[in-house]
């Protein structure tokens, strides 16, 4: 018999008899899982679980590119969201921004001259944005658009809005933070913990990383749905004697939950 010896295997894993927890898998025992978690945390694309859209940071250059990719000739207003600082009133905020050189402000979606801004009810929360620039999106406008976008991001602490005047006033939101563009939920940077079923941050909440769940399956319990509970619909409760304790329990339950214990299971309301 011919044979070749000494060829190294393509993948070798070391077998250990270390701690054996209910969450141990081939991946965790061999540490393959640890390397995969690091890889996914680095190259993974997080999605907002609510909106199923990618969550990411955008650099000023990406934001400018996105604006430049809009239909040429479109008119838009570049806005920077602002908030009151400490115990500041809205009037003080507007006075401060006027001193910073801004002349127009959008309050709850309406643009006003800062000098002619209406009184703002301080008891409610309002959306205030400074008008940083009005743009015409054209290739030759790129330097100005870039300057204004960077200005808006700086004033808006990493957030800028672009209201498209030709598109029914649609507002695009740009963010340098890890936020969902749709629901604005903020996310932390991915770490290997987010991808670990051994970590509270990463495990599935239903099974806490165990991969199995204890519970009862309705189909396994109700074995004869064409019968009533008293007549053996439920496994183990075969034809309860009419005067027996179980029959009385079922009758009491039926009264408390208002269902008919004599009706076939399949006929009962959900």
Q: How far is the CB of 22 from Zn ion (least distance, A)?
A: 12
* Residue number, 105 or 180, with CB nearest to Zn ion: 180
Q: Are 146 and 54 in contact (CB under 8 A)?
A: no
Q: Smallest distance from the beta carbon of 205 to Zn ion, in angstroms?
A: 8
Q: Which residues bind Zn ion (CB under 5 A)?
A: 48, 50-51, 180, 182-183, 185, 204, 206-207
Distance in Å, CB of 255 to Zn ion, minimum: 38
- CB nearer to Zn ion: pick between 50 and 75: 50
Which of 142, 173 has the CB closer to Zn ion? Answer: 173
Q: How far is the CB of 229 from Zn ion (least distance, A)?
A: 32
Task: Give least dist CB 183 to Zn ion, A.
Answer: 3
Task: Pick between residue 207 and residue 252 the one whose CB is nearest to Zn ion.
Answer: 207
Q: Which is nearer to Zn ion, 121 or 205 (CB)?
A: 205
């Amino acid at each position: 018999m011919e044979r070749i010896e000494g060829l190294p295997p393509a993948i070798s894993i070391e077998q250990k008899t270390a701690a054996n927890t209910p969450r141990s898998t081939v991946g965790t025992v061999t540490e393959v899982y640890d390397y995969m978690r690091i890889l996914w945390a680095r190259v993974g694309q997080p999605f907002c679980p609510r909106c199923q859209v990618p969550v990411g940071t955008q650099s000023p250059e990406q934001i400018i590119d996105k604006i430049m990719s809009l239909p040429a000739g479109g008119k838009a207003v570049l806005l920077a969201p602002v908030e009151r600082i400490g115990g500041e009133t809205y009037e003080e905020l507007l006075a401060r921004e006027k001193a910073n050189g801004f002349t127009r402000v959008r309050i709850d979606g309406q643009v006003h001259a800062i000098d002619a801004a209406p009184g703002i009810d301080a008891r409610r929360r309002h959306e205030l944005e400074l008008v940083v620039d009005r743009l015409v999106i054209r290739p030759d406008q790129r330097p100005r658009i870039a300057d204004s976008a960077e200005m808006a991001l700086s004033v808006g602490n990493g957030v800028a809005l672009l209201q498209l005047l030709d598109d029914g006033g649609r507002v695009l939101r740009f963010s340098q933070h890890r936020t969902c563009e749709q629901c604005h939920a903020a996310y932390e940077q991915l770490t290997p913990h987010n991808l670990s079923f051994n970590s509270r941050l990463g495990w599935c909440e239903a099974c806490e990383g165990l991969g199995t769940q204890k519970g009862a399956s309705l189909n396994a319990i109700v074995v004869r749905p064409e019968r009533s509970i008293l007549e053996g619909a439920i496994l183990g409760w075969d034809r309860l004697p009419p005067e027996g304790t179980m029959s009385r329990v079922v009758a009491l339950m039926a009264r408390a939950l208002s269902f008919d214990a004599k009706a076939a299971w399949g006929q009962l309301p959900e």
